[in-house]
């Protein structure tokens, strides 16, 4: 993709044809979640609920380190790329 097409392609149009990141990242995010989902289906078991609670607890700690959040409008693919770059750069400073 050229810079011109990145800046002119609406993000909503691009995302219609994209594979959701969560589909690609589920295994690397939490292998136990993927295994439990395969074994037990998409039911909310006590193990799943506890895992979700622990993940949320960790996310809240990380977000607290980042400080206040702000809403960013993403209209093009390039906007999404810049936002991802900025987020990764910010997160790398927190770890």
Domain hosting residue 84, numbered range = 3-94
This prediction has a pTM of: 0.49
- Around Cβ 77, how many Cβ atoms within 10 Å? 20
With a CB cutoff of 8 Å and minimum separation 6, the contacts of 45 are 36
- How many domains are contained in the chain? 1
pLDDT given for residue 24 in this prediction = 66
Q: In Å, how far are 25, 71, 74, 79 from 7, measured between CA atoms?
A: 26, 20, 11, 7
Along the 95 residues of the chain, how does pLDDT read in single tens digits? 688 888 898 988 888 888 667 666 766 667 777 777 778 777 788 887 898 899 899 989 988 887 788 888 899 999 999 998 888 887 777 65
pLDDT given for residue 43 in this prediction = 78
pLDDT given for residue 54 in this prediction = 94
Q: 10 - beta bridge partners?
A: 76
CA–CA separation, 5 vs 13, rounded Å? 12
């Amino acid at each position: 993709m050229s810079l011109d097409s990145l800046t002119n392609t609406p993000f909503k149009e691009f995302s219609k044809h994209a594979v959701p990141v969560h589909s690609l990242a589920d295994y690397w995010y939490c292998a136990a979640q993927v295994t439990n989902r395969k074994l037990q289906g998409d039911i909310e078991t006590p193990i799943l609920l506890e895992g979700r609670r622990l993940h949320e607890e960790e996310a809240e700690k990380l977000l607290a380190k980042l400080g206040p959040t702000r809403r960013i409008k993403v209209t093009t693919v390039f906007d999404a790329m810049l936002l991802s770059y900025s987020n990764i750069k910010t997160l790398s400073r927190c770890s």
